[in-house]
Every structure is written in C-alpha cells, then in structure tokens.
Chains A and B, each alone.
Chain A
Amino acid sequence: MTEKTRRYLLIAIAVVFFVVLLLLVLSRKKTEHPEPEILNKTTENGAVTEFIKVRLFYFNEASGLLQPEYREIRVPDIREDLYKNFIDLLLASANGQIIPVPDGVQLRSVYYLPSKEMLVLDFNDTLINVFPGGTTAELEFIYFIVDNICYNFKEIKKVKLLSGGNENRTLAGHIDLEKPFFPDFSWLKNE
C-alpha cells in the first residue's frame, strides 16, 4: 500500500466515523424532549409567580395520534400539586379535541415516589365503573395520561394508575393495570 493510498484510506475512515457520530448525535437529540419553559409573571400585588409552559397532547377525529397544544401552568410550592394541577388542566381543556376519559372521572390524589421515578395517580371509582370498553379505548386512556406526564416532567419515568384508591386488574378486561406504565411516545405526533 502506497503512502498516498494509506492517506486516502485514513481520510475515508475519518469521514465515515464523523458521519456515524453525527447521525448518533442527531438521533439522540430527536428523542430528547425540551424542558418546559419557565416563565416568571408579576401579579398585581407585585409578587413574582413562576409558571411553566407545558405541552398537552389530545386526540382528534382525524388522527389516532396525540396532537400537541401549549398551555401555561403555575408552579406551586409542593411538587405533587404541580402534577395534580397538570392533570386537572389536561382533563379540563381540549379546544374541541378528544379527551379519552369518561365523563365524571376525576383525579383524587397524586403520589410521587422519587426513588422509583414513579407517579401514582388515583382516580375516582367512576373510571372503572363507567369505562366504555375496547382495547383501543383502554390504550388511548392509558397513553394519553402517561405520555402527557412523562413528556412534560422528565423526573417521572413511569406512571401507576389506581381507581378509588385500589389497584385494578384492568380498565375493562384488556390491558393489565397492575404494573406501572412506561411512556410510549409513538402515540405522539411527530415523535
């Protein structure tokens, strides 16, 4: 092998290495979600209140994927209150979009377990009592909740769903509810 050939070979290897590295970095960036933007607002009495800009995802009739919308939410002193306010906001406002949650379902309480990076959500009994059935409906409900939370709060890696303070086997006879759910961002548009 001549010196010239060796040089070309080294350049080719370096180019390939650089391209692979670039692709790895880009693919990693794509799966990372931006942190919620922190906004400071001054109220009438002069106090500064912290807000964050969150992204809420909803279904619509045209697509089986969750579509994003932006909202602002006040950051309270207690972390669990932030999660509860987030879920309440998620269930309350959809601008005509579809909220895959039966009427009358409300969040009773929220528990954050930092050591497990897990959020436990306890809904009222209505969730189990009136859930309409169907595998797709169950998955729509589960990933609507889990993906919205895990997308906006990186410290939460999994979500456990309770109803009436109890563990339930399934919502309506299909998906196993006894274990926590990890997010599946393939339900989100452009993810």
Chain B
Amino acid sequence: MKKSTVFIASLFLFQILPALSIDFRSSDHEGFTRIVLEADQTFAFSVRNRPGQLQVLLPRHAAFKNQTPSLQNSRLLERITHELKEENGVLTIYFKGDASVQKNFVLEKPFRVVFDLVKSDSAAVTPPRSTESSDKPQDPGPIANTPAASSAKPIETICIDPGHGGEDLGAVGRSKLHEKDVTLKISLKLKKLIESRTGLRVLMTRDKDSEVSLNSRASIANNQQAQMFVSIHVNSSFRKSAFGSETYFVSLKATDPEALELAQKENQNPEDPGEAIKNDELKMILWNMAQTEFIRESSTLAEYVQNELNDLLGTRNRGVKQAPFRVLMRTAMPAILVETAFISNSAEEKKLQNEAFLDKIAFAIFNGISKFIYYYNTNIK
C-alpha cells in the first residue's frame, strides 16, 4: 500500500491524562503475522504504511509495558523502534523482506489495535481463524453507511468553522456574552485537541475576531480539500426556557422539486448550460446536490458528535436534526453544525462563560469526530 492511511480511535478521558501503558504482542499464523497493541484504555492512533515498514503514531504519553518490545524470531518482523517525534510517539515496525498490512482493525474490552501482515505476494491468502477473542472489526456506531465517494481517501484535513465574527456578533446573551466569542474559543480548543492528539491537518475559517461570509467559509473548506466540515455555534430561542445541545446536518427538504429537476437537466448537458447555469439559484442548487452525496456521512458524523455531547455535557439532548443551512449546503464533504448550548437561557449562558465547560464541549466534539474518522477510514472502498 503506497498511500498513507490514517486510523483514529476515540479518546474518552479528559484533561488529566493517566499514563497510557501499551502491551505489544506479535505472533505468526498460517499465512500471516499478527501484531496486537493492547491497552487498558482507548487511545488515538494514526497509521502510515511505508515500503518495508509500518509506522503507528501514538499519543505522546504512551509507554510500552515491555520497555523495548522484542520480536522473538518473528517470520515477517525484523525490529521495532519507539521514539518521540513532535507531538506523537512513533512506533516503527520494520519488516523482513516484502511484507504489507493486509488488515487493520480495533477490538474492545480490552482495547486492542490489530494488524495482520502478509508477504506481499500472498496478499490474497485468507487468514485462518483469529487467535484474538473476536476477529470482527469493532462496530463503528449507530449508522453503518459506507463513505459515498468511491474515490474517497482517509481523512487527513478537517475544517473547523467558528460561527459569526467581526461585526456579526451572532446571538447575544442577557449578560452581553457574544456568540462569536464563544464559538471562537471552542473552535481553537478543538483545533488544539485534533492537532495534538491525531496529527491531522486542521483548517480554520477564522482564527480571530473577523467577519467571514458564509460562502467564503464553504469555499475555504472546498478549495483546501477538507474532508470534514464542523461548524461551531451557540443557540438562541424566543423561548427563554429552551436549553440543551443539538447537532444539525443539511436538509434538502425545503428544496423546490422543479428547481432540482432543472439542475439535474443542466448537469446532464454541461456543454450547453444555457441561460439557467448563469443563474445564482441554479449554482446554489448544484452545491446542494454536492452536499447530497455526503448526506449519509454527515448524518453519521452528527450522531457521533451528538452522542458525545450527551455523555459529556449532561445538558438536555435535543438530538440530531436537519435544516437547510446555507453554509452546509455549499460544502462538498461530510458537514455538520453543532449548536452547543443556548445563550438565550440564563443558566446555559453562565455555563458558556466557564472555560472548563468550553473544554468539555471541545472534547466531546473531538471524541465524536475521532469516532467518525475511524468509521470513515475503515469503510473506504
């Protein structure tokens, strides 16, 4: 495999990171060699397949139980190194001759990351029954849809969109707390978490108090080929008692069927677009259709994030919802909008002024994103 692949597992512990102790095992089986990294807690990891070696990026605080894991006359493995590089610990496993990873999956209870290696000329060999307690990959979550795009590649770039900014204050609380400031704080915390714990590239539609149009936000994500778009917002309602968190993905329910039909016709004949293609409305519809391709992934991402918000925040679960968001309609990637809490509710406005609460929100979103990435990367065709 020439392409680097990245797999992310979720992290569940917050703020104080206990020592992560990993047990490394390897064993030869008929037709393949199995590597198992076992820990008593879930951890984030990325994988890079390179010729002659496998690199696993681990959290910086990870340590091996057996200080220098030995390979004990392995058939396919030559040696192993573990070193700290930038933000990560890097485990490098060197192969004997021409070997490659045939399968990579995660098991739970206890948490295990498993790699099955084969000699490159025997990649089609079916491995015998697993010696682990289960040889089925872990169920990724509530919705089991595979990534839509057949040309999909593992997620490497995430775009975070802090809602509002500049003269656009967003919603304003009774104590004059501005939505734009809260969304920026949460987004910066989320960026830091993703970068430090996964090594993935994070784009921001804004990283200071500046005004960015909705179209530009989507353009930033599209032009930089982000593979996930997460818009962070704070909610407000005419009902002062409304509270809780909710996660949205785009709805095309409000789309005029006639207009959609027109757009589809134009798509079928791109060389003769006629007058209609110049029309902004049609362009918008075409963008809607771009998002349609990712609607299943967006739904799955929304579920993962909302589940984590429910677990960590202890606020009311308002659930996963759909609405025709202008910024989401224009993105060509899995895209969600997270409404973290109600600034119009006095109690939640107070919480939104608390850094620890914002840390929790960022961590919950990070957990949801991590689970989605694992699901997405393992389902790529």
Contact = CB atoms under 8 A, between A and B. Distances in A.
A180 B256 contact: yes
Given A132-B236, A134-B344, A136-B339, A173 B256 contact: no
A137 B240 CA distance: 11
Contact of B323 (A61, A135, A180): A135
Interface stretch (B29-37, B142-150, B247-255, B373-381): B247-255
Interface residues of A, number: 31
Given A133-B170, A178-B281, A173 B163 contact: yes
Nearest to B171: A133
B241 interface: yes
A134 B233 CA distance: 8
B177 interface: no
A50 to B, nearest CB: 33
B339 A133 contact: no
B56 to A, nearest CB: 40
A94 to B, nearest CB: 11
A175 B339 contact: no
B306 to A, nearest CB: 14
A133 B236 contact: yes
B63 interface: no
B337 interface: yes
Contacts of B323: 135, 139, 174-175
B103 interface: no
B245 to A, nearest CB: 11
B3 interface: no
A179 B237 contact: no
Interface in B267-314: 281, 284
A74 interface: no
24 contacts: A59-B239, A61-B240, A98-B238, A98-B239, A132-B171, A132-B238, A133-B170, A133-B171, A134-B170, A134-B179, A134-B344, A135-B235, A136-B236, A137-B171, A137-B237, A140-B237, A170-B326, A172-B170, A173-B168, A173-B214, A174-B337, A176-B324, A179-B255, A179-B259
